[in-house]
């Protein structure tokens, strides 16, 4: 099977960095490693205030206000109902973009989001979705080896990617042989190469890459991706991908998309379940008198942002 390259002129994949998965997994989803040459009512609001050392900028807050213009909230009785709805939502968008663009660029996060995608790997979607047109990315990743328990790649592989026939050359993992800075730079270079090839669209509004769909989760503290309350990276305006070395949640070293890239997506889906995140959901959706701004409040999308909530997560609304 031919591999995709993620590089600029004359740069190619390094065969030495391809992961040879165990025989139980390689038949479905071997990893393509991208290498470019010399590439979220458990936490109290008191805790959030304590962590809020850096105020969110005025421009970021303005973006948060704009998000209400195309925001939907869908509530369900159970997590199972969330998963059923999420599968149809994703499959419908896949069909839309495959018809319009000939490709579907999907960005995954970690945590419980992967389990929420389980219905996509079942009938009818497993056989009806055009998986050959999917291109899969990560909104953030921990700087660990791909077989490490903390790896978002491994989580997605075990829980979803190994169960659907997405071409391995269209699954873009970080280079785990590089430092945090190197991995962030490498991944940004990868994205730029795919933008040049028009695999990833470009936002006519912002000039940043415009992914078709980002499937996101939120932590009990209101973080998304690896953008945490009070961290200066929340206000990053220029980089596409950056690294964090002092994550308040282990492991400390990660790479993450920045808000300009996240909010340039055509569709963003925020999937939140469980009572432990109810307080943060209430604040993020502007239903609380809490004065601080959480990263999740800054989430928007160019076409539509949808929050998918089960009864527990929506209990404070």
Domain range annotation of the chain: 73-310
Contact by Cβ (8 Å): 49, 291: no
State pLDDT tens for residues 147-175: 999 999 999 999 999 999 999 999 999 99
Residue 121 is predicted with a pLDDT of 98
Predicted confidence at residue 287, as pLDDT, reads: 77
Q: Which CATH architecture has domain 73-310?
A: 3-Layer(aba) Sandwich (3.40)
Its sign, for the CA torsion 286, 291, 296, 300, is positive
pLDDT 10s digits, 180-190: 999 999 999 99
Query: Model pTM?
Result: 0.81
First to last CA, the chain: 49
57-69 in b/e form (b: 16+ CB < 10 A) is beebeebbeebee
Q: What is the pLDDT of residue 286?
A: 84
Within 10 Å of residue 279's Cβ, how many Cβ atoms?
Answer: 22
């Amino acid at each position: 099977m031919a591999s995709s390259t993620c590089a600029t002129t004359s740069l190619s994949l390094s065969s030495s960095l391809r992961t040879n998965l165990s025989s139980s997994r390689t038949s479905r989803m071997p990893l393509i490693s991208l290498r470019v040459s010399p590439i979220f009512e458990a936490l109290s609001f008191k805790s959030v205030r304590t962590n809020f050392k850096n105020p969110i900028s005025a421009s970021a807050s303005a973006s948060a206000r704009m998000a209400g213009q195309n925001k939907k909230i869908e509530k369900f009785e159970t997590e199972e109902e969330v998963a059923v709805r999420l599968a149809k939502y994703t499959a419908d968008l896949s069909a839309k973009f495959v018809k319009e663009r000939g490709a579907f660029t999907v960005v995954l996060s970690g945590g419980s989001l992967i389990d929420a995608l389980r219905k996509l790997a079942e009938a009818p979607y497993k056989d009806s979705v055009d998986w050959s047109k999917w291109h899969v990315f990560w909104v953030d990743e921990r700087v660990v080896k791909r077989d490490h328990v903390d790896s978002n790649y491994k989580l997605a592989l075990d829980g979803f990617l190994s169960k659907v026939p997405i071409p391995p050359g269209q699954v873009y993992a970080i280079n785990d042989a590089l430092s945090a800075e190197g991995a962030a730079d490498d991944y940004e270079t990868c994205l730029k190469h795919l933008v040049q090839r028009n695999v990833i669209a470009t936002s006519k509004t912002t000039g940043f890459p415009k992914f078709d769909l980002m499937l996101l989760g939120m932590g009990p503290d209101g973080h998304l991706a690896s953008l945490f309350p009070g961290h200066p990276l929340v206000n990053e305006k220029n980089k596409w991908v950056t690294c964090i070395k002092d994550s308040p949640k282990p492991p400390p070293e990660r790479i993450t998309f920045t808000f300009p890239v996240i909010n340039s997506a055509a569709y963003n889906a925020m999937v939140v379940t469980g009572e432990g995140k109810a307080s943060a959901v209430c604040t993020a959706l502007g239903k609380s008198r809490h004065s601080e701004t959480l990263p999740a409040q800054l989430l928007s999308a160019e076409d539509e942002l949808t929050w998918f909530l089960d009864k527990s997560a929506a209990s404070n609304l």
